[in-house]
Structure 1
Amino acid sequence: MDSILNAAAQALATGDVLGALNRVALRDDPGALALRGTAMAQLGDLPRARQLLAQAARGFGRHETVARARCVLAEAEIALVSRDLTWPEGRLEAARQVLSQRGDAANAAHAGIIAARRDLLLGHLDGASQYLAALSPRALPPPLLAGYWLVSAGIDIRRVRVASARRALQQAEEAARQSGQPGLLAETEAARRSLDGPAARLRRQGVETAVSLDAVEALFGSETVVCDATSNALRQAGLAVSLSRRPVLFALLRVLAEAWPGDASREHLLARAFHARQADESHRARLRVEMTRLRQLIGSIADVSATPSGFRLVPRAGDVAVLALPLDDQHAAVMALLADGELWSSSALAMVLDSSPRSIQRALRALQEAGKAQAVGRGRAQRWALLTLPGFPTTLLLPNAGRV
């Protein structure tokens, strides 16, 4: 690296982005393009940054594999920040292997952390854990160590392991302070505040209260039968029966749990689960069939008995409670993702929430009409953001494939 590039790189490392750009603004060699791309990313012009980095990667020679891999690594990080989840993850893995084989341990670890962050965002908790398991925290510099512990805390939060998550966030905050990067420290502090705040709404015998994630963890381990509307499951004492793929059955279960210790009328069950305005004999026949299916699925935790007016949930032991999302809005999950402050495409939201793009587009339009979200750009470049933050942590609203 020549003296000008070296001076520009040192300026970037100390946060002098404009100083770095002044040194390489008129150069178009691959090294200068890579530095300009990094600088533009720090200034927030992500599309231009990606163009410059891609151009730099093409400009490096066939034998400059490490330089090209570093450009790919920077592209992958920008794609993650801009929520371009269709960016080919195979390129990142190939770059990580090149960096590891050529002795660039720090950037190889950075690639692993980026891959783990992507898996965490998509709810692939086992994949994120495997990436972290391949890293040695003691060998990481402070900025990467903070990222490592943030991902570790995210995995624990999704799996409702609060004590472990709190320890990871404490270590992330210590590493962020050592790094001297204000943005990284602000991220760790925001994560800690989110963990300490209300995480869900608990309804028990008609009384509704806000509860923290610590209370949720204790509830999941207790004898209380919990109708968990955050992941569509029925839980008791560490046992969980998932109904995430059976929305009608979970809708029936939730009505029964909300009515406990009383029963729920057939008309109310039909209206909530089947959206039937005027129930006929075919609806009642279907209700009996679905109740039989529900009884078979949840039999290890509770039974469903018929009453003269409807049906009643009968727990094997303990009482019944309903755990609901912290925001009473049908588009709460979309709002939770938008609340991270990044610009999201509808396709990325659909990937993370495992929903159809058309359903996500309808939700975004509804939020826009309600004055809660706004669109930026048009066509394929269109992105979405919240107009105002909803004021609740997203802990239990995000994908949590490993929790049930």
Structure 2
Amino acid sequence: MDSLITAAARALAAGDPLGALKRVALRDDAPALALRGIAMAQLGDFVRAKALLRNAARAFGPKEAVARARCIVAEAEIALASRDLGWPAKTLDAARATLEAHGDLVNAAHARYLELRRFLLVGRLDETERTLAALAPMPLPPALRAVHELVVAGVALRRIQTKTARAALERATFAARHAGIPALTAEVESASRVMSTPAARLIVRGEERLVLLEEVEALLATDALVVDACRYVVRDAGTVVSLATRPVLFTLARALAEAWPHDVPRDTLVARAFRLKLADESHRARLRVEVGRLRSEIQALASVNATPRGFALEPSGAREVVVLARPVEEKHAAVLAFLSDGESWTSSALALALGASQRTVQRSLDSLAEAGKVQSYGRGRALRWMTPPVPGFATTLLLPAPLPGD
């Protein structure tokens, strides 16, 4: 490897893409193409970066398997940064196996962490935890140790384990500063700010306030009866009843919890649960059926009692009834929550992350675009959607798949 290639590689490792381009911008040999591709990726031109890396992979000879594998890993990193979650995972696995077989353990570990970060984005927390348990970050360079701790923190935040998350973020901050890469330091700082931004709204006895994730964790450890409108469950400290597939029942449970300790008129429950302005006797009969189903589902936690004008919730052992809701609620809140990370997403990537059909996601994007809340650029397969981050809200932390009927 000549001196210019070595100098460009060192510049890229230090997070200096312009310095790297000064050395290899006019060269078209395979190593230079690869370094130019990585530099363009660091500058945010993902389309040009992807093309350069593919050209580099083709330019490397059949005996240069390690170099081609590194190009594949770099392309996978670009796919992750550009939220192309449909990028073939098997290709990355094959590249990682090649790197491990040839002793390039650092780049092989980098490929593994790319896979883990993709798992986080699509909500595969169990697989992420199993893989993390088998990894030892200490032999890795500081940059990869920071990435390891970011993944640990990401899992802990989604599990609502704030002490674990805070400790991981502190380790990530130390490793990122030691690595001396400004972009990595900025990413760690952005992740750390999640701990001090509201993750949910707490509604108690008709009053509401924003709460941090640490407060959510503390709430879930108390004996309060929590109607969780972030995950669509009714829970106390020992029992969790999921109503994620029963949207009418969850709507009734939330309405009763918001009014507790008072009752809710029948017509109000009909309007909220069935989305009707006027209620007749058939709707009230249907309401009685749905309330009976709700009683059966949450009987271990609370009872639903009839009153002269409606129904009231009575917790079995809890001293308080609270509702935990998203910081911002609207019809397409789940789509907006993922777009609020400031990255550009394809509709197919959003569908993968949300566990919804691409057609459903596209309808949501079209509605949001008409309202001026998102914007698109590109055409065809290159069409992407984005929105500026919602300031002051950690909107994705408590998001599951959309509630059926949303």
Output the TM-score relative to the length of structure 1: 0.93
Q: Residue 133 of structure 1 corresponds to which residue in structure 2?
A: 133
Q: Which amino acid aligns with 2:193?
A: R
Is the CA contact (8 Å cut-off) linking 2:72 and 2:92 kept in structure 1? yes
Task: Identify which range, 324-333 or 249-258, moves more after superposition.
Answer: 324-333
| Structure 1 CA distance for aligned equivalents of residues 332 and 398 of structure 2 | 10
Q: Deviations over 1:93-112 (max 9, x none)?
A: 22222222221111111111
Q: Residue 346 of structure 1 corresponds to which residue in structure 2?
A: 347
The residue correspondences of 1:246-325 to structure 2 (distance < 5 A) are: 246-318=246-318, 319-325=320-326
Identity %: 57
Q: Which amino acid aligns with 1:282?
A: S
Is the CA contact (8 Å cut-off) linking 1:345 and 1:382 kept in structure 2? yes
| Structure 1 CA distance for aligned equivalents of residues 238 and 326 of structure 2 | 20
Q: Deviations over 1:155-183 (max 9, x none)?
A: 11101111111101111111111011122
Deviation at 1:131, TM superposition (A): 2.3
In 2 relative to 1, CA 122–15 (structure 1 residues): closer, same or farther, beyond 3 Å? closer
Does residue 363 of the first structure (1) align with residue 368 of the second (2)?
no
| Structure 2 CA distance for aligned equivalents of residues 223 and 16 of structure 1 | 53
| Structure 2 CA distance for aligned equivalents of residues 243 and 57 of structure 1 | 49
Q: Which amino acid aligns with 2:352?
A: M
Q: Which amino acid aligns with 1:133?
A: A
Deviation at 1:397, TM superposition (A): 4.3
Does residue 74 of the first structure (1) align with residue 66 of the second (2)?
no
In 2 relative to 1, CA 336–272 (structure 1 residues): closer, same or farther, beyond 3 Å? same
In 2 relative to 1, CA 2–331 (structure 1 residues): closer, same or farther, beyond 3 Å? same
Q: Any idea what SS the aligned residue of 2:28 has?
A: coil
Is the CA contact (8 Å cut-off) linking 2:37 and 2:48 kept in structure 1? yes
Task: Identify which range, 282-291 or 114-123, moves more after superposition.
Answer: 282-291
| Structure 2 CA distance for aligned equivalents of residues 19 and 214 of structure 1 | 42
Is the CA contact (8 Å cut-off) linking 1:230 and 1:396 kept in structure 2? no
Task: Identify which range, 53-62 or 251-260, moves more after superposition.
Answer: 53-62
In 2 relative to 1, CA 99–398 (structure 1 residues): closer, same or farther, beyond 3 Å? farther
Is the CA contact (8 Å cut-off) linking 2:199 and 2:398 kept in structure 1? no
Output the TM-score relative to the length of structure 2: 0.93
Aligned length: 401
| Structure 2 CA distance for aligned equivalents of residues 116 and 183 of structure 1 | 19
Q: Residue 227 of structure 1 corresponds to which residue in structure 2?
A: 227
Task: Identify which range, 264-273 or 356-365, moves more after superposition.
Answer: 356-365
| Structure 1 CA distance for aligned equivalents of residues 186 and 399 of structure 2 | 21
Q: Residue 394 of structure 2 corresponds to which residue in structure 1?
A: 393
Q: Residue 190 of structure 1 corresponds to which residue in structure 2?
A: 190
Q: Any idea what SS the aligned residue of 2:70 has?
A: helix
Q: Any idea what SS the aligned residue of 2:41 has?
A: helix
Deviation at 1:66, TM superposition (A): 1.5
Task: Identify which range, 338-347 or 138-147, moves more after superposition.
Answer: 338-347
Is the CA contact (8 Å cut-off) linking 1:195 and 1:395 kept in structure 2? no
Q: Residue 326 of structure 1 corresponds to which residue in structure 2?
A: 327
The residue correspondences of 1:97-116 to structure 2 (distance < 5 A) are: 97-116=97-116
Q: Residue 55 of structure 2 corresponds to which residue in structure 1?
A: 55
Q: Any idea what SS the aligned residue of 1:237 has?
A: coil
Deviation at 1:298, TM superposition (A): 1.4
Task: Identify which range, 226-235 or 93-102, moves more after superposition.
Answer: 93-102
| Structure 1 CA distance for aligned equivalents of residues 281 and 357 of structure 2 | 33
Deviation at 1:369, TM superposition (A): 3.2
Gaps of 5+ in 2: none
Q: Residue 179 of structure 1 corresponds to which residue in structure 2?
A: 179
Q: Deviations over 1:257-280 (max 9, x none)?
A: 112111222211121111123333
Is the CA contact (8 Å cut-off) linking 1:200 and 1:396 kept in structure 2? no
Q: Deviations over 1:166-205 (max 9, x none)?
A: 1011111111110111221122122222212222110111
Is the CA contact (8 Å cut-off) linking 1:352 and 1:399 kept in structure 2? no
Is the CA contact (8 Å cut-off) linking 1:33 and 1:55 kept in structure 2? yes
Deviation at 1:238, TM superposition (A): 4.1
| Structure 2 CA distance for aligned equivalents of residues 285 and 103 of structure 1 | 70
| Structure 1 CA distance for aligned equivalents of residues 15 and 171 of structure 2 | 24
In 2 relative to 1, CA 238–79 (structure 1 residues): closer, same or farther, beyond 3 Å? farther
Is the CA contact (8 Å cut-off) linking 2:15 and 2:183 kept in structure 1? no
Deviation at 1:67, TM superposition (A): 1.4
| Structure 1 CA distance for aligned equivalents of residues 323 and 121 of structure 2 | 26
Deviation at 1:61, TM superposition (A): 2.9
